[in-house]
Amino acid sequence: MKKDTTTEEKIKEAARTVFLTKGFEGCSSREIAKAAGMNVALVNYYFRSKSQLFQLIFKAAMEDFMESMIYVFSTDQPLEDKMRIFIEREYDFLAKHPELPNFIINEMNREEACASNEHSVILEKIAETGIFNDCQKAQAEGKMRKMNLISLTLLVMSNCQYPIMAKNLMQSIHQLTKEEYDEQLVLHKGYVTEMLVQYLFPKQ
Amino acid sequence: MKKDTTTEEKIKEAARTVFLTKGFEGCSSREIAKAAGMNVALVNYYFRSKSQLFQLIFKAAMEDFMESMIYVFSTDQPLEDKMRIFIEREYDFLAKHPELPNFIINEMNREEACASNEHSVILEKIAETGIFNDCQKAQAEGKMRKMNLISLTLLVMSNCQYPIMAKNLMQSIHQLTKEEYDEQLVLHKGYVTEMLVQYLFPKQ
DNA sequence: CATCGTTTTAAACACTTGTTTAATATTCTT
DNA sequence: AAGAATATTAAACAAGTGTTTAAAACGATG
């Protein structure tokens, strides 16, 4: 232990940024070492292999990916408000970590990787917030549209994550600058919130 | 010219499947050659380089990606019906080509690649179907919610493509088999259709 | 200061990468 | 059938890959 950021942490940080922007196959050990200002051998000295380092980064990224959800769901507010706040927070979060959804989804599609892992833990953590019970209750009382968990999460994730994931595609198709698209995202967040709330919590 | 499928086409076919499942960086020239049952040198003999072959595949994939849209939009039906049919067809299409959206979006995020290309042609092709004019007209008549093109496409694409893209992630989180998730997709398509139509074409 | 364990380095390992070359096989043309 | 053009091959190229090794630099403890 010497400075604030030890060599091990420097490598981990560098690995995170490189892995998240380029993916596991899109970068080399040497690239990570260089980004950390270190020798290549040090990467394996601390983390044994590129794969092991990656798994570490991936796991942490996955937790980040789920973090904001859990926070909001734990609050004690009407379900409809939770939904609004959640979307608000999710758009904020993804604006800060725009590479995350693509990274997670891509690496989940690599056969070798992460596929068989214990990602059901995530679901349990979310379940601990009581959000799922709240939904079931609201559905039973007729305050919320009846729908299983999978579609519920799909609806929310689709409308929050896709607009970030497809950023470059949409910019290219619609000929927009980054700034213009970011403005568009703010507008879109409003539409998404309105649409989801109206559909999930129908009035009358 | 010899058989039905010439060597050149065999390589192109193999390249398509390999590129689409593994991405540009996720595979090697030799892997493509092997998949086509050919020698490595033949890949470059016909296509000069891995990059040039990729650009060919990517361009074709992009056109596939947009094909189904154009077909539906060209039909002569009420806008609301068009929307329903479009979602139906899009889910069908993506069931047959589940790797497409991820492929397109990922490769659009690779700095070297495809970014500065002429993807605005796509928009023009869609514009030629008259769908955008129809929307503007419907919006002016108060039959359709006022919203710019970007958000409109975003809403539809998000809810059609994301559920396919996140297949492995969702399966892992919710502990579902492929068959269970495919069933879920059918259900979800219904929700998405209802939600989008209700939101875009409000009654009263 | 000498010795120990830890950290860092340069160099090498065997292997894969994209691409090229030069020789061979095949096909087409006359 | 002979020769020209095309198609296919094995082999080589230099550069890059993940990983290992063995030596050097470092920091603490005696």
**Average pLDDT for chain A:** 90
**Distance between CA B151 and CA A192 in Å, rounded?**
9
CA distances, B43 to each of A70, B9, B11, B23, B59 (Å)? 50, 11, 7, 17, 18
pLDDT at B18: 97
pTM, two decimals, is 0.93
Please say whether the beta carbons of B60 and B16 come within 8 A. yes
A176 contacts on B by Cβ (under 8 Å): 150
Please say whether the beta carbons of A69 and A126 come within 8 A. yes
pLDDT tens for each residue of B28-77: 999 999 999 999 999 999 999 999 999 999 999 988 888 777 877 777 78
pLDDT at B75: 77
Please say whether the beta carbons of A169 and B108 come within 8 A. yes
pLDDT tens for each residue of B134-179: 999 999 999 999 999 899 999 999 999 999 999 999 998 888 999 9
pLDDT tens for each residue of A142-186: 999 999 989 999 999 999 999 999 999 999 888 899 999 999 999
Spatial distance from the CA of A39 to the C1' of C10 (Å):
9
- Higher-scoring residue by pLDDT: B78, B3: B78
Instruction: Give the type of residue at A4.
Output: D
Name the CA dihedral angle for A63, A65, A71, A72, rounded to a multiple of 10 degrees: -160
- Nearest by CB: A106 against B102, B174, B175: B102
**Distance between CA A47 and CA A79 in Å, rounded?**
43
- Nearest by CB: A172 against B102, B115, B162: B115
Q: Which residues contact A182 (CB under 8 A, 6 or more apart)?
A: A95
pLDDT at B71: 74
CA distances, A65 to each of A180, B49, B116, B152 (Å)? 26, 38, 30, 26
Which residue in the block uniquely carries the two structure tokens 């689709």?
Answer: A158
Mean pLDDT, residues A82-108: 94
Nearest nucleic acid nucleotide to A42, CA to C1' distance:
C8
Closest CA to B174 of A16, A19, A151, A69: A151
Task: Please report which confidence band the pLDDT of residue A115 belongs to, taking 50, 70 and 90 as the band edges.
Answer: low
- Residue B149 Cβ < 7 Å to strand D: no
Instruction: Say yes or no to pLDDT of A111 above 90.
Output: no
pLDDT at A4: 53
- Residue B75 Cβ < 7 Å to strand C: no
B198 contacts on A by Cβ (under 8 Å): 198-199
